[in-house]
Each structure stands twice: as structure tokens, then as C-alpha cells.
Amino acid sequence: MKRETIRTIALPAAGGKLEAYAVRAPRGYARPSRPFTRRALAAAHVVADPLSAREPWLEAAVDWEATLAYRRHLWSWGLGIAEAMDTAQRGMGLDWPSSLALIARTLDAAKDFPGAAVASGAGTDQLAPRPDLQLADVIAAFEAQCAAIEKLGGRIILMASRALAACARSPEDYGRVYDRILSQVKAPVIIHWLGEMFDPALAGYWGHGDHGAAMNVCLDVIRRNAAKVDGIKVSLLDKEREIAMRRRLPAGVRMYTGDDFNFAELIEGDAEGHSDALLGIFDAIAPAASAALSALAAGDRATYHAILAPTEPLARHLFRAPTRFYKTGIVFLAWLNGHQEHFVMVGGQQSARHVLHFAELFRLAEAAGLLADPALACRRMKQLLALHGIA
């Protein structure tokens, strides 16, 4: 169906010019009527409290009501929640005590949504960086966070550890830590391999700078502990690497794509298998993702691709280098769509992208039909432009 133009807005373009952009009516998406044939978790962002007196670079101030409302929004579209992950600014403004509080509140809110899926990040971010860190410290930190999440009745996503990357001296050190933690967890976990494009401190993870050699180490860990591994989330933005790893996983272990560039192809899969989803981009495109997954469940692959095709340019722009600043775009889009009343982030991260980046995000979100209330989105975009001295 052709979308009708309903207004225009002047947006900045390269070279300092303002260009008129036509804004059309949003696409309409129905909420899912049947379960998806793929597991789909959205790594969800947090909403900052703009009226807090806490220093934004030093302490996380979270608007709990708005943060939980966004999780209800995601559940309403049939998506699960990957909680307290890097999309929630874990390690970039959100510390472990705040993360645990977030996990507890989300698990409690999930009780009102029968069947709502929640998996929560356990890491080692309570460890202060220091030169004398030992593997025993990393193990103890992982154990403490896993125990805290399990005490709340939560399922675990075993996050990549900056502390382990800093103190490990060999691939065997990674194996030693993961074998120990996986031997103790109560239920199978999702392992998250977060690439250095998302977090430069994780370069050389699994003991190798080469991703192919690192993948072999990771697969060895999974094979030894297959009964304790639900799946592996790979965030390398490399579809060929993900497919190659997917084909080598033990039976019963899932591949959760973390490829925000090529997710449509990877989720669809091929004759040898498919990836499930644990994606930050699903936070921003929940209605489209839900509708596409419903089409895929109905065997309508043409509609699946037609829905997701315009979201991939949006994702590629949102996650462009420096990729770790993608959270800023996620929160910007939530603000445009009325899910929060301000564009303020914990850690002051709203300043991490420039105004031309935001203008292009606006264009791409509109092109994908994802501006739910175009009038509101235009008003808020104009507020941001005015803040940058653009009339």
C-alpha cells in the first residue's frame, strides 16, 4: 500500500544545507496472533531519569517506570527481553548494582505477561580495573553475578568479560574460566561473544586476535559443556563467520544472531539451519520485526523480506562505526516515537553522535514506516535541531 505524504520537515544534509524531507503516514503492523518459529529477544535500552541530581557521567539514574513500560511494549509485540546487556549501556553508564535492580524489576514485571521471555546478563563488571587481576577474581565475579540472577529466578546470558580479556594469558585461560562457570549454572545459558567493534576492550577474546582461531576455542568450550549451553550469541557483524560457526555447533545448541547488519538473511537461514535472534536493533524496530517474524512463521518469506528490507539500511546506519555508540540512536528513536519524554541517557551518552547522524536516522526510520506518530516525531526532531542552532 502506498503511504501518503502528510507533512515535510527541513533536515540538515552534508555541506550544511537544509533539505525538505517528505514524511509519510507510518506502516500499520498487527500484533502477532501465533508464536514465532524463531526465538526472538530484543536487547532493551534503559530510560534515564532527567530530573535526577546524580552526576550523569558518574552514577546511573534510571527512570524505572518508563524503562519497564518499554519492556511491556516489547513483550506486546511477542519479543522476549535480553536484559542488562550492552544495549542497556552495561559498562557504558550502567553498573552492576543498577543492572541487578533492573533485572529484578523486569523479572517481576514479566509475571504480568504469561510466557514473557527474559534472559539477563551476568558479567564481571563489579571488578575495578587493576594490573594484578587474576583468573580467580574473574571466576568469583562471574559466580557472584550468576548466583544473584539465579536467586531471582532468572535465566543467564554469560557476557563477555573485560576483566578476563585483560588478565587471560592464553586460550586455555578462557577455557578454565568458562568451564568453571558453566559447571555451576542451574540452567543452560546463552554465551555472548561481543566483538571489539562493540567494545574495544574485548579485542583478542578467546585468546586470539584472529576471529577464526577464536571461534575454534569458543566451539571447544561449547562442546565440552553442551548440556549447559542453550546457545551462543555472536556479535561480530560478519555473516559468513556466523554461518560457519552455526554449522559446527553441537546438536541442540542455538545460534543467536547478534549481526545487526545481516539479521534478515541469518534469521531466515538456509537448507542447513538458521539463526535465532538476540538483537539490539529489535529494540528500535519491534513492530516491523514482529510482523516479519509472523510472516516467516506463516511461510510467507516474500512478506518477511519486504518488511525487513527497509529496516536494514536503518540498522547499518545506527550501528555504523564507532559501533559502540549505537545505543544513542536506539534511545533517539524511542524518544521520536514517544516512548520517553526526553532525549537524555545515562552516562550523558546522548552526545555520542552528531546532528547529521540523527537527521539520517530520522529519514531511514521514516522510510521504514517506523515513525508511529509523524507529527510528534517532527516536533521532537525540530527541538533537537533547535538545540544545535538549526532553525
pLDDT tens, position by position, 188-237: 999 999 999 999 999 999 999 999 999 999 999 999 999 999 999 999 99
Q: Say if strands 40-43 and 254-257 run parallel, antiparallel, or are unpaired.
A: unpaired
Predicted local distance difference test score (pLDDT) of residue 1: 55
Question: Is the CB of residue 82 less than 8 Å from the CB of residue 44?
Answer: yes
Superfamily of domain 5-387: Aldolase class I (3.20.20.70)
Rounded CA gap, 235 and 214, in Å? 13
Rounded CA gap, 54 and 43, in Å? 25
Question: Is the CB of residue 161 less than 8 Å from the CB of residue 199?
Answer: no
In the chain, domain spans? 5-387
Which stretches of the chain are DSSP H helices?
A: 64-76, 96-110, 135-151, 162-167, 171-184, 211-224, 239-246, 263-268, 281-284, 286-297, 301-308, 311-318, 326-336, 355-367, 374-387
Residues in the chain: 391
Torsion (CA) 25, 267, 191, 319 in degrees, nearest 10: -40
- Positions in the chain whose pLDDT score sits under 50: none
Predicted local distance difference test score (pLDDT) of residue 119: 98
* Cell (9 digits) for 245: 560457526
* Cell (9 digits) for 172: 586455555
